[in-house]
Every structure is written in structure tokens, then in C-alpha cells.
Amino acid sequence: MKKIGLVLSGGGVRGFAHIGILYNLQWLNIPVNIISATSIGAVIAAAYSAGITIDKIKNAAEMLSIFKVINPVIPYYGLSGFKKVREWFNKIGIPRDFKDLKIPLVVCVTNLSERKPEYFNNGDLWEVLCASIAMPGLFYPVKFGNKIYVDGGITMNLPVSIIKGESDFVIAVDVNYSGRKYPDLENTYQIIYESLTLMVSRNTVYERESADFIVDVSFEGIGFLDFKKINQVIISGYKDTYAKIKELKKILEEKSYVQDRGLGPLFISPLS
């Protein structure tokens, strides 16, 4: 059987668009055999890989606010710990260990001690996810042994190459498409995030070229902490990529990677 790989980029709140895109893949009966992801993309990927329904992921995401993610602490190099993040993982049903996932998942984090991306596919899933979303200045870093880890998007925001050898066809979803209009830089965290996005854009170019199919999502005026716009982002991911995913299915059918089985299961309700 041909294996289809899926790559989900980081992107702050924009990354919740992955929920709408996963809906389209499921609705159009496009199977996913392995996933690699970074930052918020890794969180969405973990939930999907665990077999949690799209509706439940969407509903849990829409309940989030900045106050439900950030819990101010006074560490020596960060703003927030991960207590509320772990509570959300538990509430939605993301398992503690990679081995309990139904779809193999590779999560990218940045090994700050060695200045390089590092990939995890086993062990404590929650801790790896926390490391992958640990944006400097927002969350404090995560330590594994004597090494310090931060947001995976800093060194690899679209980890295509890592699953290229495990997949016959790789779909990459980039929610940081450069064609979008950038929001006003109104606060410190927006400036930090946009600076990091600019810094990692070069490694993304190579990874995009390695993918077999790219799904770009462009947003206007969506900041990385615009939690009030999560529903808007999810619906945009759904509506704005449906035609592109239909094009993808046609390509996969021509390659005999998937069969034309019509639309997905009836229990999938339209996103709104």
C-alpha cells in the first residue's frame, strides 16, 4: 500500500487552520499514514493522530483563550509554564505517550543547546509537544537531560525531509504563506513572532521544494496570539483549501494512491 505523509507547519493561532484542512482530507477520503509537524501544527497533529474527532478538536480549540494557555510564573528565562497547556492536552484526550497514537507522528523541536532541529517519535508526547511550542519570550524552555529545547519552528517550520523516506507522497501544509498580508506589529509578542518567522523562512524554502504537494493558507491581519479569531482561522482553513484538496485527490487517484470512494463518513458535520 502506498503511504501518504502529511506535514503541518507552525504558525501560532494561524496553525488552527490545520483543523479545517484535516476536515477536508477526511471528507474527501484522503488517508494519512504518517505525520510530521512543528509547534502548533504538532499539537493539532497529535490530536488527530490519537483518533480524536475533528469536531472535538475544533470545539476544544475554540474554547481556548490567551488566559487558558498562559499561566504567568517567574522563571529565570521565560514568561509562562505549561500547566494550563498540559490540562488542555488532558481534557481533549491527547495521550501521554507516542506509542498510544493511531497514526505515526514525528514532532520537530529546536535543540537550543546544539543549535539544530531535533525530531521525536517516541517517549513522553506531552513534554515533546510543550517543547515544540515553547516560543522564546512566551514560554520557558523545556529541558531533556542537560539540553534545552524551544519552539521547533525556529529551526524547522515545515519538516518535510524527515518523513520523505517513509512516504511515497508528501503533502505539506504551510500556514505562513508569504503571499499573505502581515498584521500590524502592535505588541511585543507579535514582533517576536514575526521576527522568528522571517528568520526561519529560508529553511522552509528547501522543505517546500521537497514536498510532492503544497497547500498554502494565507491570512490577512491574523496575529499569532489572536485567540479570538480561532474560529475564523479554522473556517478559513476549511473553505479556502477545499478546491486545492480536491485537486490533490485527483492527483492521488491518477497515481492510484487512493480510490474514488466519494465523500467521507456521514458523521462528519459541516464546519461552521
4-254 folds as Cytosolic phospholipase A2 catalytic domain (3.40.1090)
What sign does the dihedral 55-221-72-77 (CA atoms) show? positive
Report the C-alpha gap between 272 and 90 in whole angstroms: 25
pTM for this prediction = 0.88
Domain ranges of the chain: 4-254
The DSSP 8-state label assigned to residue 33 in this structure reads: -
Query: What's the pLDDT score for residue 195?
Result: 65
The number of beta carbons lying within 10 Å of the beta carbon of residue 143 is 12
pLDDT profile of the chain (272 residues), mean per 10? 94 93 95 97 98 95 65 54 90 97 98 96 98 88 94 94 97 78 57 63 84 90 80 93 96 87 51 60
